[in-house]
Amino acid sequence: MTDPTSPALRAEALEQLLTERGLVRTDVIDGFVARYESDVGPLNGARVVARAWVDPEYKARLLADATPAVKEVAWGGGANGEHIVVVENTPVLHHVVVCTLCSCYPWPVLGLPPSWYKDPAYRARVVREPRAVLAEMGLELPPEVAIEVHDSSAEVRWLVLPERPAGTDDLTEEELAALVTRDAMVGVAKVAAP
């Protein structure tokens, strides 16, 4: 039986009401949904990461000046995406992003922030004990891997360039992008091999 309190069911009922009353056209709603599925969100960031993995010149531009480099591949401008800095994870250094004051986040590149990102517990603890927080989120890092925490703000939004997983040399840029998750671009996860 379907849960009548489910957000998906409530959204569907609201859409039906609005369209029946002529307040919204279904093609407009479909356009918004398509935009967030394909134009705004984690897919944008995933495209950026995949391009950096396959194109060393693009990667160099991305690490040197991320904002224009992101715009080469994906829409990244507007509010919350105007100044992006990219940091690269390596076998000996892992980056993780937080916004200790609120929830500053590059949503045009990463999509809407997850609830845990806005949670005061994450915001406070990841700064003090990042290794423990990452482990609780399922990412166990060896003790020899250093962890740097980057605090997003209204002036700077951070994006993590995750390590490319081993065994993906034969994958296309599009196939690589499909592997990249929002959590990997925030630094609370690694990209898994297919």
Query: At which residue do the structure tokens 């039906």 appear?
Result: 16
Beta-carbon contacts of 37 under 8 Å, excluding residues fewer than 6 positions away, are 43
Q: Which of 3-7, 38-42, 74-78, 128-132 has the highest mean pLDDT?
A: 128-132
Q: Where does the pLDDT of residue 101 fall: very low under 50, low under 70, confident under 90, or very high at 90 and above? A: confident
What's residue 166's pLDDT? 96
- The domain locations on the chain are 7-38, 40-186
pLDDT mean over 125-142:
97
Q: How far apart are CA 152 and CA 181, in angstroms?
A: 19
Q: Where does the pLDDT of residue 8 fall: very low under 50, low under 70, confident under 90, or very high at 90 and above? A: low
Residue 27 pLDDT > 60: yes
Q: Which of the pair, 137 or 36, is modelled with greater confidence?
A: 137
Tokens standing for residue 149: 């925490």
Q: Which amino acid is at 112?
A: L
What's residue 115's pLDDT? 87
What's residue 26's pLDDT? 84
Residue 78 pLDDT > 80: no
For domain 40-186, give its CATH number from 3.30.365.10, 3.20.20.70, 3.90.330.10, 3.40.50.1950. 3.90.330.10
Beta-carbon contacts of 147 under 8 Å, excluding residues fewer than 6 positions away, are 93, 94, 95, 96, 130, 131, 134, 141
Task: Note the pLDDT tens digit of each residue in 158-177.
Answer: 999 999 999 999 999 999 99
Beta-carbon contacts of 47 under 8 Å, excluding residues fewer than 6 positions away, are 73, 74, 173, 177
Which 3 state secondary structure label does DSSP give 89?
A: coil
Catalytic positions, please? 99, 102-104
Binding-site residues from annotation for Fe(3+) = 99, 102-104
Binding-site residues from annotation = 99, 102-104
Q: How far apart are CA 97 and CA 86, in angstroms?
A: 11
